[in-house]
Amino acid sequence: MTKPIGRTGHPEVKPLRALLAPVRGRLLAGLACQAGAAIAGITPFAAAAELCRRLLAGTPMSALWPLVVIALVALPVRAVLLVAASTLTHLADNDLQLSLRRRLARHLTRLPLGWFAAHDSGRVKRAVSDDVGALHHLVAHALLDLTTAIVAPLAAAAYLATLDPWLPLVTVLPIAAGMALHRKAMRDVGARMREYQAATAALDSAVVEFFDGIAEVKAFGQTGRAHRRFTEAAARYGEFVAGWARSVTPAMAWSQFAMSPLVTLFVLLLAGVLFSPADTIPFVIVGAGLSGPLLAVGYSIQDTRAGQAAAADIAGLLATPELPDTGAATVDTGGGARLEFSAVRFSYDGETEVLHGIDLTLEPGTVTALVGPSGSGKSTVAALAARFHDVTGGAVRLNGTDLRDLPVSQLYRHIGFVLQDVRMLRTSVAGNIRLGRPDAPLEDVHAAARAARIHDRLLALPRGYDTVLGEEVTLSTGEAQRVSIARALLADTPVLILDEATASVDPESEAAIQDALSALVAGRTTLVIAHRLATVTEVDQIVVLDQGRITERGTHDQLVAAGGGYARMWEYAA
């Protein structure tokens, strides 16, 4: 399991720093340019202030031309530096996105297949697309805004401090008050956000319930009740949003007010008149600009937080252990494949063991069925047979070779699987069937589909085998299952792991699937996860699992005659 990194305290900064490391130089150069631009932005104001101050003090204009020149030069310098900063951070961002997406893609191809079974595709999409996108905002924009917000006031304060060391502190007062109020408004934003999501979810499900079940609701005369639930959820949502707004708005409004340039101006004028009337003009000209950039900080802080959360997510995914792929052994299964579990132990989380020493041999060309109550470990045994995970103790061997010693690309030439959760790629039907043998001639594809009892149905699709699945048509569960059987037939692996479908399909489809499966298992070493005992009576070996241990094994007749747990299950099922 991937641990959510950085959801507590400040450790989020760490993954972010680590992810940004490759583009650090460019990013820092960009931020340096931005800092220069912020200083250049203050310069004309400082020059104007100085001009006024010296004119008032009686300095002749002829001696003040250098100040005008400085102000005029600062403007284009600022423009050039801004462009340079933005270019550098965008270049850094470009490199970062490319390298991160490459790293993620490489990492994903090396994750154990079991990881994909345990995580939905949304997790992958979020990291590769949304999270990398959130980093773009941070790297290309938010850090620049943050730099201006920090450097511009500092530069202004530094100039003002040369005139009067105390007055810059006065300018800080309204800003500090504004920030404190902002903090107050945002204090429990995390808890509120969760409440907000809960209220939205409640409203969403009430809406879905109302519209989804509208026919039933009407037919049973329950319109009033369903409608009431919907309006109640909407009212609760409205109350929550209004309550939040009521409690946050005053603090936010005061914060904005305190940090507005006008308030700073007023405070400066007041302080200037009271303490240092001669220097009031520069403070008014330069000081009032101090709070402007700070108002933008709120947004860039939010973007920075989002970037940190995204970095933690990406780092979490990148930290998921890869499946070691260092083996260089080869194995020959031409004369049949024997799969052997010896003293296999397994734990998903490194703490709770779910298989406690499995010894099991699948003789070449035989069918072995795994039966047992839910949670007994059937899927786990099957997953280890296909190296979806690595065993934590013992070994799984194919014709004597440990699966870990085989290169992963070799492994799946010997071991194929048909899983319950059939996933079709968004490509042509033929492409989907060819997954395990991309160069298979079309006749072979057709032959596999024919054996899987799906050929005629596929021919009847709008563009036959060229029809793109998920775009032009979506197959029914039973049809998709038969396409996955055709896929396995074409891949023609000597070992086959089958997760017998539990999804209900119509009897005709069910019969077709059973026919297709019979064609598939013929001559292969097969391991079936059996969910219904009726389908295993003919298999060569039945293995009964209970709480991660094998409790019985034998043929159906032997096990029924033995009168043990299997016999009882059989009696119960009959």
Ligand X SMILES: Nc1ncnc2c1ncn2[C@@H]1O[C@H](COP(=O)(O)OP(=O)(O)OP(=O)(O)O)[C@@H](O)[C@H]1O
Residues engaged in binding ligand X (CB under 6 A): 118, 348, 354, 372, 374-380
Closest CA to 16 of 191, 148, 142: 142
Closest CA to 338 of 292, 283, 285, 397: 397
DSSP helix/strand/coil, 428: strand
Unique residue bearing structure tokens 């063991």? 353
- Closer residue to ligand X in complex, CB, 379/493: 379
Q: Rounded to the nearest whole angstrom, what is the least distance from the CB of residue 347 to ligand X in the complex?
A: 8
Round the CA-based radius of gyration of the chain to a whole number and report it: 35
Unique residue bearing structure tokens 């699948």? 362
Q: Rounded to the nearest whole angstrom, what is the least distance from the CB of residue 385 to ligand X in the complex?
A: 12
- Closer residue to ligand X in complex, CB, 384/433: 384
- Closer residue to ligand X in complex, CB, 46/371: 371
- Closer residue to ligand X in complex, CB, 371/451: 371
Residue 234 has, within 13 A of its CA and on its CB side, a CA count of 9
Sign of CA dihedral 183, 184, 190, 196: negative
Sign of CA dihedral 27, 29, 35, 40: negative
Sheet holding 339-347, edge to edge: 353-362, 339-347, 393-398, 401-402
Q: Rounded to the nearest whole angstrom, what is the least distance from the CB of residue 345 to ligand X in the complex?
A: 12
Q: Rounded to the nearest whole angstrom, what is the least distance from the CB of residue 1 to ligand X in the complex?
A: 7
Q: Are 67 and 51 in contact (CB under 8 A)?
A: yes
DSSP helix/strand/coil, 47: helix
- Closer residue to ligand X in complex, CB, 147/380: 380
DSSP helix/strand/coil, 468: strand
Closest CA to 526 of 380, 386, 355, 345: 386
Q: Rounded to the nearest whole angstrom, what is the least distance from the CB of residue 463 to ligand X in the complex?
A: 37
- Closer residue to ligand X in complex, CB, 12/499: 499
- Closer residue to ligand X in complex, CB, 358/469: 358
Question: Residue 118: which H helix or E strand, with range?
Answer: helix 113-118
Q: Rounded to the nearest whole angstrom, what is the least distance from the CB of residue 392 to ligand X in the complex?
A: 12
Q: Rounded to the nearest whole angstrom, what is the least distance from the CB of residue 420 to ligand X in the complex?
A: 9
Residue 499 has, within 13 A of its CA and on its CB side, a CA count of 20
Cα separation, 16 vs 11, whole angstroms: 9
Q: Rounded to the nearest whole angstrom, what is the least distance from the CB of residue 537 to ligand X in the complex?
A: 19
- Closer residue to ligand X in complex, CB, 174/548: 548
